[in-house]
Amino acid sequence: KSWFSDVGMAPRDPILGVTEKFLADTSPDKINLGVGAYRDDSGKPVVLDCVREAERRIAGKDFMEYLPIGGLRDFVTESVKLAYGDACPDLSNVAAVQSLSGTGSCRLMAEFQRRFMPHSTVYIPVPTWSNHHSIWRDAGVPQSTYRYYKPETKGLDFEGLMEDVKAAPSGSLFLLHACAHNPTGVDPTPEQWAAISKLMAERGHFPFFDMAYQGFASGDCDKDSGAIRTFLRDGHRLGVSQSYAKNMGMYGQRIGAFSIVCDSKDEAARVESQMKLVARPMYSNPPLHGALMVKTILRDPQLKAQWFAEVRGMAERIISMRALLRRNLEQLGSQHSWKHITDQIGMFAYSGMTPEMVDTLAAKHSIYMTRNGRISMAGVNTKNVARLASAMHEVTK
Ligand code: PMP
């Protein structure tokens, strides 16, 4: 008998499965709205000019040593400043390490929670990026959920959320999407964030912000970290996951940061030392190249300004595609309201289409998306938006 004869086949990843079906389709007009990666108006992946320039500056450097466990210090410092702005008066109270992008930051947070926040539960929004459940499950942290999305309004279930925050045992960890909630594109308003912050402080919960889309939502990096800054100004101690996958287009470089705001410099030093102890047996130390690129961009005022302009360009293209998709659907005479397409923000539109409608879109129109009806707006462009709208109209009649 083989060692592995009893190993069952793992279920396919829902998003990567969409890509496989898309690749197998031979239609020249096929459209992939599954994966959350930015595409330009010709449907092509993009390498930002600021990233090209940073690569040019790094090229030929003879430094290829290991980074320390916590990563490249200057990169981490710049990342923390980018997330917290001036809302955190004393950055020496922040414990932070370089991470393997947003996923890696979440994994470190989950493991840190298991070790140092004993008996605490992680509260995860419904719905969420599906990997959140798996990450905290693998870390062995008890999970619960809180209400977030309201199908009837295709908006936020603010009352449900507040009730669940109130009902959770004091000292729970709340996983919050800092902006551009995945998959719904529904974010609380600044006033709602303020109320959530206040209630969480009263209840003594620990907020952990997963920020995978800073700058990518509104086009403005400061605005997109507004929720985190509100919480900081309210005196919260909190954690943040940052990723440069989307906002710098560095998907494959696996570059991000994980930070926790502590009570004092001394506490931050202790917390940071434990973050490194979590990271060391997982991957020893993080990769160098992406950290050097991001540091090069964030440390040079001109390159940083160029990046701000480029991230704004990506966000604005997506925002304009939302408007165009909605207008096309309305012009076709659709009886449904498509207001949510322009109300929602970030990479995704949570269309409200059923799994059956999504299946028909694939089978009849060669248009692919996840079965929850989530459209990756990054895959929509001026050339395919009319065809997408008419197919959506057709299946939702
Ligand atoms: N969190 C959320 C909410 C996401 O949407 C994503 C990307 N799909 C991530 C984290 C992780 O992305 P990465 O590890 O590529 O930074």
Q: What is the pLDDT of residues 268-288, one digit of tens each?
A: 999 999 999 999 999 999 999
The confidence score (pLDDT) of residue 244 equals 98
182 CB under 6 A from ligand 1?
yes
- Residue 207's nearest CA partner among 183, 228, 223, 225 is 228
pLDDT of residue 88: 80
Return mean pLDDT, the chain.
96
Band of pLDDT at residue 377, cut at 50, 70 and 90: very high
- Predicted confidence band of residue 82 (pLDDT cuts 50, 70, 90): very high
Nearest to 164 by CA among 194, 106, 205, 131: 205
**Average pLDDT over every residue of 193-207:** 98
Each residue of 1-37: pLDDT tens digit? 899 999 999 988 877 788 899 999 999 999 999 988 9
In this structure, how many other beta carbons lie within 10 angstroms of the beta carbon of residue 233?
Answer: 14
Grade residue 343 by pLDDT with cuts at 50, 70 and 90.
very high
**pLDDT of 39 higher than 90:** yes
131-172 pLDDT, tens digit per residue, is: 999 999 999 999 999 999 999 999 999 999 999 999 999 999
Q: How many angstroms is it from 390 CA to the middle of ligand 1?
A: 31
Does the structure show a pLDDT above 80 at 215?
yes
Beta strands in the chain (DSSP E): 31-32, 94-99, 122-126, 143-147, 149-150, 155-156, 173-177, 206-211, 239-243, 256-261, 348-350, 367-368, 374-376
**Known catalytic membership, residue 338:** no
Judge if the beta carbon of residue 129 lies within 6 A of ligand 1. yes
Which residue CA neighbors atom 10 of ligand 1 most closely?
A: 102
Residue 60 confidence (pLDDT): 85
**Structure tokens that stand for 50 in this block:** 């600021």
Confidence of residue 124 (pLDDT cuts 50, 70, 90): very high
CA count, 13 A, side-chain hemisphere, 257: 26
Task: For a ligand 1 pocket test, name from 122, 124, 129, 255 the mutation site with the most ligand atoms within 8 angstroms of its C-beta.
Answer: 129
Residue with tokens 């020496």: 92
Task: Enter the DSSP assignment of 48.
Answer: -
Find the radius of gyration of the CA atoms of the chain. Answer: 21
193 is catalytic: no
Q: Which one of the listed residues 157, 210, 224, 295 is annotated catalytic?
A: 210
Q: Token digits for 22?
A: 């898309």
Q: Take residue 354 and report the two structure tokens written for it.
A: 């059923």
Residue 70 binned pLDDT confidence (cut-offs 50, 70, 90): very high
Q: Is 246 considered catalytic here?
A: yes
Atom 1 of ligand 1, nearest CA residue: 212
Cα(247) to centroid of ligand 1, in Å? Answer: 11
For residues 362-369, give the mean pLDDT. 96
What is the separation of C-alpha 190 from the centre of its chain, rounded to a whole number of angstroms? 19
Pairwise CA distance, residues 188 & 209, whole Å: 13
Contact 89, 72 (CB under 8 A): no
Look at residue 168 in the predicted model and tell me its pLDDT.
Answer: 98
In sequence order, what are the residues at sequence separation of 6 or more whose Cβ sits closer than 8 angstroms to the Cβ of residue 184?
Answer: 127, 148, 149, 344, 348, 350
Q: What percentage of the chain carries pLDDT values higher than 70?
A: 100
The answer on pLDDT for 210 being more than 90 is yes
